[in-house]
C-alpha cells in the first residue's frame, strides 16, 4: 500500500543562475520516448518555475487492456502524498480553533494504547508510537476489502504501540488514518468535503479528490507490475483503508499547483508552514526534506499498489516538480533527476537499454554467495533457467537482466552488477557508489 521509503535525489551540482530562455524540452522528450519505447515507465511529470508550467509529459497507458493512452489530465493514486494534504487540513482546523496541536488522542479514541499521552502533533510528525498497520505480514490479505471506521479502529487498537509517545520517530500510516477521522469529527464534515472546501476548490484543482474504485472512463489510471517484460494489473486497495494517509487521486499539474500554493503561503500561515518543514529524526509534519546538492527541497513521496509518486519544491529557485506513475520497471528517481537536470541546465544521459543474450549454462559461473568488507551484507546469486537472481541479507530477491558480457542490471533500483568470474569477484554499483564483493 503506502510505502515510507524516501526518494533520495543524487547530490549533483545545481546552477543557481536564471533559467535559460531555450529550455531543452527536445532532449527531455527523447528521454521519455526512450523509456516508453522500452516499456520502462508509464506515468506523467510536470515542473514549474515561478508558478508557471515549464514542462509536462505523459507516457504509457492509463489502461493497458484497452490501450487507453495517458494524457496530462490522467489521474493517478498518489499514495502518501495525501499526508501533505491532510496535514494542511489539520493546521486549518488549528487556525480555526477546532483543534489544538496539544490535544490528546483520548479525546477521540481513548481505547488506543497511550491515547492519554499522544498529541495531535505526535500524529502529524510520526512520533506517536502507534504501530503501522501496513507493516503487518497479513496486510495484503485484507487491503482490497472495504473497511469501516470501526474496523480500522479495531485493527489499529489491536496492533498497539511500538514505543513511548514522543520518544522517537517512526513512520506510521495509522497516524494519518486517525487524523482523517479526527478532522471529520472536528468539522462535522466528511474528509471529501473538507478536501474540496479548503484545498481543491480554492486552488481550482479539478483533478484532485479522495479516490474510490478506479474508473478508467473518468481518465483514472489502473496500476501495473512488470513480470517478464509484461504489465500485469495490480490488486486495488480499497480507499476506505488509507483515506487521508494515502487515498487521494491527482495529476502532476495539480500537484505542482498545490505545491506552489503551499510553499507560497496561500494554504497555511508561514508559522505553520515552518512547523510542517521542521524535520526531527528524518521526518516533518506531512513533509520530508530532499537533498539536491546544496539546495534543500521539501515534499513527499507515495506508493500504493503499483502507483508511485513524488512532489518537491525548491524555495531557492521557486521550482515545483511532481511525478505520478502507474507502472515502472525503472528507477523513478532517475526520471526525477533527468527532469530536474534539464530544468537546472545540468547534463544527464538518455539511458541505454541494450540487452545481452546469455545462455543458461553461462549463468553458473556467477552463482554463489558474495561478501564485502565495505558493506555489512551478503549477496546470494542464484539462477533458474535463463534468469539470474540476487538477494541481499534480510531483503527480497530481485531479478538481474544481462546488458553486456558479465554485466547485469536491476533498473528499478538503479543497480548494476559487473562480474569478474576468473577473479571470483563482482562490483555492485548504485547511486554513484561502487562496492567490491568477493565470492565465498
> How much is the pTM?
0.86
Calculate what percentage of the chain has a pLDDT beyond 70: 95
Specify the DSSP element, H or E, that contains 324: strand 319-328
Residue 66: CB atoms within 10 A of its CB come to 11
Of 264, 295, 310, 430, residue with least CA distance to 43: 310
List the CATH number of the domain containing 382. Answer: 2.40.128
**Helix, strand, or coil here: 181?**
helix
Chain-centroid distance, C-alpha 335: 13
Could you say which residues of the chain have pLDDT below 70?
Answer: 1-22
The answer to whether residues 66 and 216 touch, using CB atoms and an 8 Å cutoff, is: yes
Same domain membership, residue 344 and residue 392: no
Same domain membership, residue 276 and residue 143: yes
pLDDT at 5: 31
Same domain membership, residue 365 and residue 317: no
pLDDT at 22: 55
pLDDT at 154: 98
Same domain membership, residue 402 and residue 315: no
* DSSP string of 235-302, one letter each residue: P---TTTTGGGT-EEE-HHHHHHHHHHHHTTSSS-HHHHHHHH--BTTB-SS-EEEEETTEEEEEEEE
List the CATH number of the domain containing 129. Answer: 3.40.710.10
Same domain membership, residue 237 and residue 211: yes
Same domain membership, residue 282 and residue 409: no
Please give the grid coordinates belonging to residue 432.
554513484
Last-in-domain residue among 328, 353, 378: 353
For 20-51, b where at least 16 C-beta lie within 10 A, e where not — what string? eeebeeeebeebbebbbebbbbbbbbbbbbee
Please give the grid coordinates belonging to residue 173.
500510516
Same domain membership, residue 371 and residue 225: no
Domain range enclosing 413: 360-439
Same domain membership, residue 424 and residue 309: no
Same domain membership, residue 147 and residue 68: yes
pLDDT at 16: 31
Rounding to the nearest 10 degrees, give the CA dihedral for residues 264, 287, 161, 100: -10
pLDDT at 344: 87
Same domain membership, residue 59 and residue 33: yes
Instruction: Convert the pLDDT of each residue in 84-128 to its tens digit.
Output: 999 999 999 999 999 999 999 999 999 999 999 999 999 999 999
Q: How far apart are the first and last CA of the chain?
A: 37
Amino acid at each position: 500500500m503506502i510505502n515510507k521509503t524516501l526518494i533520495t535525489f543524487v547530490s549533483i551540482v545545481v546552477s543557481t543562475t536564471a533559467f535559460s530562455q531555450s529550455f531543452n524540452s527536445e532532449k527531455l522528450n527523447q528521454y521519455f520516448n526512450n523509456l516508453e519505447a522500452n516499456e520502462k515507465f508509464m506515468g506523467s511529470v510536470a515542473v514549474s518555475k515561478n508558478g508557471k508550467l515549464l514542462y509536462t509529459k505523459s507516457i504509457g497507458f492509463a489502461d493497458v487492456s484497452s490501450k487507453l493512452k495517458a494524457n496530462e489530465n490522467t489521474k493517478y493514486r498518489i499514495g502518501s502524498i495525501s499526508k501533505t494534504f491532510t496535514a494542511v487540513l489539520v493546521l486549518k482546523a488549528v487556525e480555526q480553533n477546532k483543534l489544538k496541536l496539544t490535544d490528546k488522542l483520548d479525546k477521540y479514541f481513548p481505547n488506543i494504547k497511550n491515547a492519554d499521552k499522544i498529541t495531535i502533533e505526535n500524529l502529524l510528525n510520526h512520533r506517536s508510537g502507534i504501530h503501522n498497520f501496513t507493516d503487518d505480514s497479513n496486510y495484503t490479505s485484507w487491503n482490497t476489502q472495504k473497511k469501516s471506521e470501526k474496523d480500522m479502529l479495531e485493527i489499529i487498537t489491536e496492533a498497539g504501540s511500538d514505543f513511548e509517545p514522543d520518544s522517537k520517530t517512526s513512520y506510521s500510516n495509522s497516524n494519518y488514518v486517525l487524523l482523517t477521522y479526527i478532522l471529520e469529527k472536528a468539522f462535522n464534515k466528511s474528509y471529501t468535503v473538507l478536501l474540496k472546501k479548503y484545498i481543491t476548490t480554492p486552488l481550482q484543482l479539478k483533478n484532485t479528490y479522495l479516490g474510490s474504485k478506479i474508473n478508467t472512463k473518468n481518465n483514472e489510471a489502473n496500476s501495473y507490475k512488470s513480470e517478464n517484460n509484461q504489465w500485469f494489473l495490480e490488486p486495488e486497495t480499497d480507499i476506505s483503508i488509507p483515506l487521508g494517509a494515502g487515498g487521494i487521486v491527482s495529476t502532476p499539474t495539480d500537484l505542482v499547483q498545490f505545491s506552489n500554493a503551499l510553499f507560497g503561503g496561500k494554504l497555511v500561515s508561514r508559522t505553520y508552514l515552518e512547523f510542517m518543514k521542521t524535520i526531527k529524526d528524518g521526518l516533518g509534519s506531512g513533509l520530508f526534506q530532499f537533498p539536491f546538492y546544496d539546495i534543500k527541497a521539501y515534499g513527499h513521496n507515495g506508493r500504493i499498489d503499483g502507483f508511485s509518486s513524488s512532489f518537491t519544491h525548491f524555495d531557492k529557485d521557486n521550482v515545483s516538480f511532481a511525478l505520478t506513475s502507474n507502472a515502472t520497471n525503472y528507477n523513478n528517481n532517475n526520471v526525477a533527476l533527468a527532469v530536474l537536470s534539464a530544468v537546472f541546465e545540468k547534463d544527464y544521459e538518455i539511458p541505454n537499454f541494450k540487452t545481452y543474450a546469455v545462455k543458461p549454462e553461462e549463468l553458473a559461473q556467477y552463482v554463489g554467495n558474495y561478501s564485502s568488507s565495505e558493506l555489512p551484507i551478503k549477496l546470494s546469486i542464484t539462477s533458474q533457467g535463463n534468469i539470474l537472481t540476487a538477494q541481499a541479507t534480510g531483503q527480497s530477491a530481485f531479478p538481474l537482466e544481462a546488458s553486456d558480457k558479465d554485466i547485469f542490471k536491476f533498473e528499478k533500483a538503479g543497480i548494476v552488477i559487473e562480474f569478474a568470474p576468473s577473479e571470483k569477484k563482482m562490483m555492485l554499483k548504485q547511486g554513484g557508489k561502487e562496492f567490491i564483493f568477493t565470492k565465498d
